[in-house]
Amino acid sequence: MSKEKIFIFDTTLRDGAQTEGVNFSIDDKNKIAKALSNLGVDYLEGGWPGANTLDTTFFNKPPKLENTILTAFGMTKKAGRSAENDPGLSALLNTNAPAICLVGKSWDFHVDVALGITKEENLENIKESAKLFIKNKKEFMFDAEHFFDGYKKNPEYALACIKTAFDEGARWIVLCDTNGGTLPNEIGEIVSKVSKQIPGKNLGIHAHNDTENAVANSLTAVLAGVRQVQGTINGLGERCGNANLISLIPSLTLKKSFSDNFEIKIKKDKVKTLTECSRLLDEILNRKSNRRAAYVGPSAFAHKGGLHVSAVSKDPKTYEHIDPSLVGNVRNIIVSDQAGKSNIMSRLNKYGIKIDKNDPKVQTLLTEVKDREFIGYSYDGADASFELLARRIMGEIPKYITIHMYDVTVKKSASGEIISSAKAQLEVDKKLSICEGEGNGPVNALDNAIRNNIDNLGKYSKYLKDLKLVDYKVRILNTGTNATTRVSIESTDREGKSWFHQTLLKLHLRH
């Protein structure tokens, strides 16, 4: 039996752009559009031309998309004017976008309160708007706003709205859970009823995540009949976000109950790029990745407990629901105090360090990690520090740069300005040099001190030049004026590789 096709519709650039604190530039939009087209989504909603300069500019010079249909978003015509004379609709017609997704009301409460027009006028607006685009040979979709809330209150009217658009020739009727409050059981029930009136091959789902069910609601809608799923990368979107395509795509392609019956255009080799795609958006937004993101988060395949780790080493299926490489993610074995030798061995393996598990150096490393964790280090998140420690104990690390001393002071001036200054003495190839710098806080001052004198670091300076401090966290481990402080630092280089390291500082606080 041939599989039924599910179409993937991405709205990161339209609904995703509604997120608090998100302001895409035109470059960002082009970069994201290219990544999505490369991934292979069926539709890409680029924005709302005519509503703002950014979106108009984007549609004036849209990026070249391969096999992905550029879609422009807009709203049904206003009451009291013809579709031909509606400036909003003209702006959409003037784009080269082959598909148009028009939002319109399907909840009578919104027609009365938000629009203040009669129910008949709203139906007329839907009908005339649909007619205009279909006449102009656009692929037309009707986004039925608040469809599920509308259906619960007045099913006849909600159905009349979508049937009006469908009877005019809409390719897709998209059922929207705009407020995101509908639960999976209700979605299943309502979609089943609707698909008796409009064929599932013409239905789509647009779910919001206000009950954390946007992905579940989308999957349920597919099982109940819809064949188009709308969502965003990383679930970006206003309030609690939209349905997360980064979780939906692997569930549709890797889970048997879906993959046996359905197919999507995104094939296995592209599913493998999902982790990269998710991180690209974080990078564009300058956000830290969500460690616990399903499928693609750095913790999604992280194992800590000794028992788990030893089982995973025998067969990863014991504690993993899929092979992480299928979505481009990696297994992460976390070394912790409760872990045994098997943790250490798995982790050494990950860094390509070849050593026999009975070599006494493995026990030395384990003891060292445990001792260090006892005084406050935590190697859970500090991969780079663990690797350095391991290589040092294995005797693989030469002396690159020696830090003989450093001195950091924090001063408050009479005007209230707080300045940190740092001085450090380094040795490279038997040559001593003094580095000095100021900064906003002690870590920044030390970073600047090294950076200001980077050319004195001889043959290593070229490796250090493009290093950037991304983030650091400070944690006081014990209270009192003689506090031990753990500083966790994230760094990155020009190629976007990032790593975590850690150090303990003694802070002497005086009141």
Residues in touch with Zn ion (CB under 5 A)? 15
The distance of closest approach from Cβ of residue 175 to Zn ion in the complex, given in angstroms and rounded to an integer, is 12
Give, for 10, the enclosing helix (H) or strand (E).
Answer: strand 7-10
SS3 of residue 414 by DSSP? coil
For residues 19 and 343, which CB has a smaller minimum distance to Zn ion in the complex? 19
Alpha-carbon torsion angle 65, 69, 74, 78, nearest 10: 140
| Backbone φ/ψ region at 80: left (φ over 0), alpha (ψ -120 to 50), beta | left
Name the CA radius of gyration of the chain, rounded: 28
DSSP class of residue 232 equals: B
405 is written with which tokens?
Answer: 């001393």
Q: Which residue has the tokens 């040979």?
A: 137
Residue of minimal CB distance from Zn ion? 15
473/490 Cα distance (integer angstroms): 9
The distance of closest approach from Cβ of residue 143 to Zn ion in the complex, given in angstroms and rounded to an integer, is 8
501/459 Cα distance (integer angstroms): 23
The distance of closest approach from Cβ of residue 174 to Zn ion in the complex, given in angstroms and rounded to an integer, is 10
The distance of closest approach from Cβ of residue 9 to Zn ion in the complex, given in angstroms and rounded to an integer, is 11
For residues 16 and 324, which CB has a smaller minimum distance to Zn ion in the complex? 16
The distance of closest approach from Cβ of residue 238 to Zn ion in the complex, given in angstroms and rounded to an integer, is 8
For residues 214 and 389, which CB has a smaller minimum distance to Zn ion in the complex? 214
SS (H, E, C) 104-150: EECCHHHHHHHHCCCHHHHHHHHHHHHHHHHHCCCEEEEEEECHHHH
For residues 180 and 381, which CB has a smaller minimum distance to Zn ion in the complex? 180
400/289 Cα distance (integer angstroms): 32
Angle at 55 between CA 54 and CA 59, to 5 degrees: 120
By the 8 A CB rule, do 215 and 243 touch?
yes
For residues 235 and 297, which CB has a smaller minimum distance to Zn ion in the complex? 235
445: Cα within 13 Å, side-chain hemisphere: 19
For residues 94 and 179, which CB has a smaller minimum distance to Zn ion in the complex? 179
429: Cα within 13 Å, side-chain hemisphere: 6
For residues 83 and 175, which CB has a smaller minimum distance to Zn ion in the complex? 175
SS3 of residue 491 by DSSP? strand
Strand partners, 490: 471, 500
What are the DSSP E strand ranges found in 203-289?
203-207, 228-231, 262-263
The distance of closest approach from Cβ of residue 17 to Zn ion in the complex, given in angstroms and rounded to an integer, is 11
The distance of closest approach from Cβ of residue 135 to Zn ion in the complex, given in angstroms and rounded to an integer, is 27
For residues 15 and 86, which CB has a smaller minimum distance to Zn ion in the complex? 15
For residues 10 and 15, which CB has a smaller minimum distance to Zn ion in the complex? 15
326/369 Cα distance (integer angstroms): 32
Q: Shortest CA distance to 158 belongs to which of 141, 171, 175, 170?
A: 175
The distance of closest approach from Cβ of residue 68 to Zn ion in the complex, given in angstroms and rounded to an integer, is 20
The distance of closest approach from Cβ of residue 481 to Zn ion in the complex, given in angstroms and rounded to an integer, is 53
The distance of closest approach from Cβ of residue 208 to Zn ion in the complex, given in angstroms and rounded to an integer, is 6
For residues 8 and 83, which CB has a smaller minimum distance to Zn ion in the complex? 8
The distance of closest approach from Cβ of residue 95 to Zn ion in the complex, given in angstroms and rounded to an integer, is 20
For residues 15 and 387, which CB has a smaller minimum distance to Zn ion in the complex? 15
